[in-house]
A and B are shown apart, each in its own frame.
Chain A
Amino acid sequence: MFIEINPHDETPIYTQLMYQIKKNIVLYGDSLEKDLPSVRSLASDLGINMHTVNKAYNRLVEEGVLSKSKRGYFIQEQSSLIQHENVKEAMLEKLTQIQIDADIYGVSEQTISEWLESIKIQMKEEVEK
């Protein structure tokens, strides 16, 4: 899988890394190799601190997206992904933020739906490339 990081973005790098991994899982699912590069290898390739990669990997393990064994980190079977309580909390928080912004800037629910649709289409197009 390809991981893209924006070093100047406001979003912290470990968050970007988490979502890049999750995005790849969503887009490519079963065709992905299950084993991920080691913390050192990934950190070295990205040129970032090993703690950052460690944090991202471990958070994903907490969320149930990855599993950790002596041999390294692996992508969990998607079917075994249960909705953890903290996942629901995190998503509610983000949705609340979007709702607040939608209200304050007068963005209708329909527009939000349309945006979601275009995002889904964009992601589909990425796979086709």
Chain B
Amino acid sequence: MVFNLFMVSIFILVGIINGITPYYSRRGTPFGITVPGSYQKHPFVQKLKKKYLVYNIILSVVLSIPIFFLSRLENIETQEMWSSVYFSIAVLLLVAVSFILYLKCRKTIQIWKNKNNVSSDIKKERIIIDTRYHEELNTVSTSSIVIAQIIIVLVTVGITLLFYASIPDEFPIHWNSQNIPDRIVEKSYLSVLMMPTIQFLLVPVMAFSHYSFIKSKQKLLSNYPQSTSKHSKIFRRAWSVYFLISSIALQLLLMGTTFYSLFFTDDVGMEYMGILVGLFVFWIVGYSLFLTWKYGQGGEKLVFSEIDDFSQEVTEVDEEEYWKWGVFYYNPEDPAIFVEKRFGIGSTINMARWQSWACIGGLVLFCILIVLISIVMV
């Protein structure tokens, strides 16, 4: 029952997070469509954002209802099998329908723009940048994120090898929804080091995630370059700290799981694991929501809170033609590899650069590697 409640809350949480995205994305590009300053707070746009939120929540609630019917299945194994099948399908549906909703909203705004002759003056377009931006960014360094994680991995390996003799001849590596172990492996140097190996492989993944975010090209509001520059740096710094803590938390969680699996598979250990997992999820989801609420994308929320009168002397350059569906950036003229998202929080890649594809390829390779290793080592 607890497990199903957990699943349902995750679904609804995803629905809410999806739905609130337009509220915290760049104000100038609702649903990835360029809307000039004077129209950004227009009731039509606001109503559309609300609709998107409501529909996303309804969608996630509807998709989570069948989970309660699944809990009626008596056989635990059958229930788990159908749960995982349903879960996969439901997640895909959630993503797909949500995306279709998003595309519909885009269409709606475009039609509204055409009907009301909403357009921005091309002559007012300016690109403004701060040459000191990257120099003064002063985020947590990517190397500290690497070092912190490596230390934890080394401690995990160290303790595992030090107390190798205390490890039972067989230990569990997977538990079912009732927290009963359902995959047990034999002890060997290879099998006990499987988890630390995965921990180690996650180090570059987390580091790259951080690196790509802080290296993103700057995006300043042309009317308020100083304010945007200041708050954009604050925004990146705050998320940078979040990355550091999250990387450490992830490694600690995995270290805890390793020790639980090797040394402590009893009821007391399970309680600690439950708390650990709970704290981790609470941090990852909770704090990122907090940062989203506090700063908005690129620190824009802080910029707008500082402004007394909304000036319209100049506008940003309209990049709409380079953003496919408002989410995929393809601009061969732009040497930047990592750019801030047009819809959403954070950064994304310039698909016209080969380095971007190299990074994606590298990430995919890592995922495959992690899966292969967990198969090979046990």
A residues sitting closer than 8 Å to B (CB atoms) are: 1-8, 33, 36-37, 40-50
Q: Do the beta carbons of B132 and A33 come within 8 Å of each other?
A: yes
User: In the complex, how many angstroms separate the beta carbon of B278 from the nearest chain A beta carbon?
Assistant: 41
Chain B interface residue count: which class? 20 to 34
User: In the complex, how many angstroms separate the beta carbon of B96 from the nearest chain A beta carbon?
Assistant: 32
Chain A residues near B337 (CB-CB < 8 A): 44
Give which listed residue, A2, A6, A40, A50, contacts B129 with CB less than 8 A: A2
- For the residues of A in contact with B, the DSSP-based class is mixed
Q: Do the beta carbons of B217 and A47 come within 8 Å of each other?
A: yes
Chain A residues near B333 (CB-CB < 8 A): 47-49
Q: Do the beta carbons of B127 and A46 come within 8 Å of each other?
A: yes
Given contact pairs A45-B336, A47-B334, A50-B335, A3 touches B131 in the complex (Cβ within 8 A): yes
- For the residues of B in contact with A, the DSSP-based class is loop
Q: Do the beta carbons of A2 and B225 come within 8 Å of each other?
A: yes
CA distance A41 to B336 in the complex (A): 8
Of all A-B residue pairs in the complex, the 6 with the closest CB atoms, nearest first, are: A44-B336, A47-B334, A45-B129, A5-B127, A4-B128, A44-B335
B residues sitting closer than 8 Å to A (CB atoms) are: 122-123, 125-135, 217-218, 222, 225-226, 229, 317, 331, 333-337
CA distance A49 to B333 in the complex (A): 6
| B318 (CB) vs chain A CBs: closest residue | A7
CA distance A1 to B135 in the complex (A): 12
CA distance A25 to B343 in the complex (A): 37
Q: Do the beta carbons of A2 and B130 come within 8 Å of each other?
A: yes
Q: Do the beta carbons of B125 and A6 come within 8 Å of each other?
A: yes
Q: Do the beta carbons of B336 and A3 come within 8 Å of each other?
A: no
User: In the complex, how many angstroms separate the beta carbon of A53 from the nearest chain B beta carbon?
Assistant: 9
User: In the complex, how many angstroms separate the beta carbon of B125 from the nearest chain A beta carbon?
Assistant: 6
CA distance A117 to B353 in the complex (A): 47
| B229 (CB) vs chain A CBs: closest residue | A2
User: In the complex, how many angstroms separate the beta carbon of A12 from the nearest chain B beta carbon?
Assistant: 14
CA distance A50 to B135 in the complex (A): 19
Chain A residues near B135 (CB-CB < 8 A): 33, 37
Q: Do the beta carbons of B126 and A4 come within 8 Å of each other?
A: yes
Chain A residues near B222 (CB-CB < 8 A): 4
CA distance A67 to B300 in the complex (A): 36
| A38 (CB) vs chain B CBs: closest residue | B134
| A39 (CB) vs chain B CBs: closest residue | B335
CA distance A107 to B218 in the complex (A): 43
Given contact pairs A45-B336, A47-B333, A49-B335, A37 touches B125 in the complex (Cβ within 8 A): no
Give which listed residue, B126, B128, B131, B229, contacts A37 with CB less than 8 A: B131
Given contact pairs A2-B128, A2-B225, A3-B128, A47 touches B336 in the complex (Cβ within 8 A): yes
Chain A residues near B126 (CB-CB < 8 A): 4-7
User: In the complex, how many angstroms separate the beta carbon of A13 from the nearest chain B beta carbon?
Assistant: 9
User: In the complex, how many angstroms separate the beta carbon of A15 from the nearest chain B beta carbon?
Assistant: 15
Q: Do the beta carbons of B226 and A2 come within 8 Å of each other?
A: yes
Give which listed residue, A43, A45, A49, contacts B218 with CB less than 8 A: A45
| A47 (CB) vs chain B CBs: closest residue | B334
Q: Do the beta carbons of A47 and B128 come within 8 Å of each other?
A: no
| B218 (CB) vs chain A CBs: closest residue | A45
CA distance A88 to B123 in the complex (A): 32
User: In the complex, how many angstroms separate the beta carbon of B353 from the nearest chain A beta carbon?
Assistant: 10
Chain B residues near A42 (CB-CB < 8 A): 129, 131
| A53 (CB) vs chain B CBs: closest residue | B335
Chain B residues near A47 (CB-CB < 8 A): 127, 217, 317, 331, 333-336
Given contact pairs A2-B226, A36-B131, A43 touches B335 in the complex (Cβ within 8 A): yes
Q: Do the beta carbons of B131 and A1 come within 8 Å of each other?
A: yes
CA distance A36 to B131 in the complex (A): 7
| A129 (CB) vs chain B CBs: closest residue | B226
